[in-house]
Amino acid sequence: MKYIEKLRNSGLRPTKQRLQICEVLFNTEKTFHFTINELEKKIKDRANNKISLATIYNTVHAFEKKGYLKQIPINSNQTYFDTNITDHHHFYDLKEEKLIDLENSDVGPINIKRKINGKKIKSVEVLVKLED
């Protein structure tokens, strides 16, 4: 299994639940956006055994803390995550409630001129809301 080392190196034991979740999240051509509920559904579809919802939450948060997932700031009752951990931005289609990646190259360079005393910039994220 190609995720065993990745997990061990992160100090996470490679359990069969985590490995299954890795398969669903990372063994794909393209990156994608998801909510916990969508992920739960994907897992059910893929494997026949079920992983408890608590474990899915635990794992997603563990992966996020390790930097393998990002949370996307968006106004929704559910939290959105992203398997694309590169610096990039998003369109948010308000009608479809769907996120679309916006590569850095699709947005001009962003220069934050103001500084806040004693604080460092950790990330700069652009959200472009779309309507019809």
Please report where in the chains the tokens 């408890």 appear, as a residue. 52
What is the token pair recorded at 82? 């992203």
Among 6, 26, 32, 35, indicate the residue that binds DNA (CB under 7 A): 35
Smaller CB separation from a copy of itself, 5 or 125:
125
Task: Give the one entry of a copy of itself, Zn ion, Mn ion, none that residue 107 binds, where binding means its C-beta sits below a cut-off of 5 to 8 angstroms depending on kind.
Answer: a copy of itself
- Judged by CB under 8 A, the stretch of 22-30, 39-47, 50-58, 88-96 that binds a copy of itself is 88-96
Helix H or strand E encompassing 41: helix 36-46
Annotate 11-31 with DSSP letters as a single string: T----HHHHHHHHHHHSSSS-
Q: Which residues bind Mn ion (CB under 5 A)?
A: 79
Q: Which residues bind Zn ion (CB under 5 A)?
A: 82, 84, 101
